[in-house]
Homo-oligomer: A and B are copies of this chain.
Amino acid sequence: MERIPPYLHRAEGELWLTEDERDNLKMTYRIKTVLFEEQSAFQHVMVLDSYDFGPMLVLDGVVQTTSKDGYIYNEMIAHVPLALHPAPRKVLIIGGGDCGVACEAVKYAEITRIDMVEIDETVVRASRLHLPEVSGRLSDPRVRYCYEDGVAFAARAKGEYDVIIVDSSDPIGPAEQLFELPFYHSLHEALRKDGLMVCQSQSPIFHSEIMLKTYRRVGSLFPHIRLYTAVVPTYPGGLWSFTLGAKQELPDPDEIRFDKQAGYANEAVLRRCFALPEFLSELLEGADREASRDGGR
- Give chain A's interface residues, CB within 8 Å of chain B: 18, 22-30, 50-52, 68-69, 72, 205-206, 229, 231-233, 235-239, 262-266, 268-269, 271-272, 275-279, 281
Q: Closest CB-CB distance, A81 to chain B, in whole Å?
A: 18
Q: Decide: A69 and B205 in contact? CB cutoff 8 A.
A: yes
* Whole-angstrom CA separation of A27 from B29 in the bound complex: 9
Complex interface: chain B residues within 8 A of A18 (CB): 28
* CB-based closest 3 A-B pairs: A238-B238, A24-B51, A268-B275
Sample (12) of A-B pairs whose CB atoms are under 8 Å apart: A18-B28, A22-B52, A23-B30, A24-B29, A24-B51, A72-B277, A231-B237, A233-B238, A266-B281, A268-B276, A269-B275, A272-B275
Q: In the complex, which residue of chain B has the Cβ closest to the Cβ of A29?
A: B25
Give how many copies assemble into the complex.
Answer: 2
Complex interface: chain B residues within 8 A of A281 (CB): 266
Complex interface: chain B residues within 8 A of A275 (CB): 268-269, 271-272
Q: Closest CB-CB distance, A114 to chain B, in whole Å?
A: 23
* Whole-angstrom CA separation of A23 from B23 in the bound complex: 23
Q: Decide: A52 and B27 in contact? CB cutoff 8 A.
A: no
Q: Decide: A25 and B27 in contact? CB cutoff 8 A.
A: yes
Q: Decide: B26 and A28 in contact? CB cutoff 8 A.
A: yes
Q: Closest CB-CB distance, A155 to chain B, in whole Å?
A: 36
The 8 Å CB contact of A28, one of B28, B264, B276, is B28
Task: Indicate the member of A205, A232, A279 with the most B CB atoms within 10 Å.
Answer: A205
